[in-house]
Chains A and B, each alone.
Chain A
């Protein structure tokens, strides 16, 4: 069974802290994605990785960085957390294919609160 896991379901951090969100997939997918989800704004892509050590900025990369050292793991880093980064963070993975074979599989999400 396909699985994407995220390191924490809930996380509370203080302003200025460095925050790591981890995502692991067991499907041998090349593509991995980080989104944030906010009420009224839907899902917005932060970063995307199409291979180990490869990354591409999404729509809202400011304040974030990513790391992909192994195929199965994609980390999102908040270098200095701010209150406006309080959000639900969702990780997804997919095969490097075009429709109809590029369904994205999502993790359960991490709800991050920055105080």
Chain B
């Protein structure tokens, strides 16, 4: 079965630093979704990538999907305390409406 691996599992950075979170699949990704979750709350949609080589940005967050569509990265530039939370990648599974999710990356930004 298809699985998503996220790395790192947790990350502590100083405010103003850049960081990258990775999401890797053993199979071709049909659609890749990035969500952010504040501690103890629901998931907020950030971005969706579908095409190989695609890149999207929203404010200081950039997500990319590699050409083979098996790996995605989420990059935060000049991190701020408001970026703290859990980042999850999710992928649509071919032929169904269901997603699978990575285990999440817990980000802490020190002021």
Q: Which residues of A contact B41 (CB under 8 A)?
A: 108-109
For the residues of A in contact with B, the DSSP-based class is strand
Let me know if A108 and B104 touch, CB within 8 A: no
| CB < 8 Å A-B pair total | 62
Find chain A residues with CB under 8 A from B99 CB: 45, 104
The reply to whether A31 and B97 form a contact with Cβ atoms under 8 Å apart is: yes
Contacts of A4 in B (CB 8 A): 42
Residue of A nearest to B45 (CB): A103
Is B101's CB under 8 angstroms from A99's CB?
A: no
Contacts of B52 in A (CB 8 A): none
CA of A53 to CA of B99 in the docked complex: distance in angstroms? Answer: 21
| Contact B40 A42, beta carbon cutoff 8 Å | no
Proximity bits, A86-115, B CB within 8 Å = 1, else 0:
001010101011111011111111010000
A103-B33, A108-B41 as given contacts; A41 in contact with B103, CB under 8 Å: yes
Give the nearest-CB partner of A41 in chain B. Answer: B103
Residue in chain A with minimal CB distance to B51: A100
Cβ-defined partner of B50 (8 Å) among A42, A50, A99: A99
Q: Footprint of B on A, CB under 8 Å? A: 4, 31, 33, 35, 40-45, 48, 50, 58, 88, 90, 92, 94, 96-100, 102-109, 111
Contacts A58-B98, A98-B30, A99-B92 supplied; 5 other A-B pairs, CB < 8 Å: A4-B42, A90-B42, A103-B45, A106-B42, A109-B42
Provide the bound-state CA to CA distance between A105 and B99, in Å: 12
B110 at the interface (CB under 8 A from A): no
Task: Report whether B90 and A102 are in contact in the complex, using a CB–CB cutoff of 8 Å.
Answer: no
- Contacting pair A98 B88 (CB below 8 A): no
Chain B 73-111 near chain A by CB (<8 Å), digits 1 or 0: 000000000000000101010000111011110000000
Min CB distance, B85 to chain A, in Å?
A: 13
Query: What are 26 A-to-B residue pairs whose CB atoms are below 8 Å?
Result: A4-B42, A31-B97, A42-B88, A42-B102, A44-B101, A48-B97, A48-B98, A58-B98, A90-B42, A94-B97, A96-B97, A98-B92, A99-B30, A99-B48, A99-B50, A100-B48, A100-B50, A102-B97, A103-B45, A103-B48, A104-B99, A105-B45, A106-B42, A108-B41, A108-B42, A109-B41
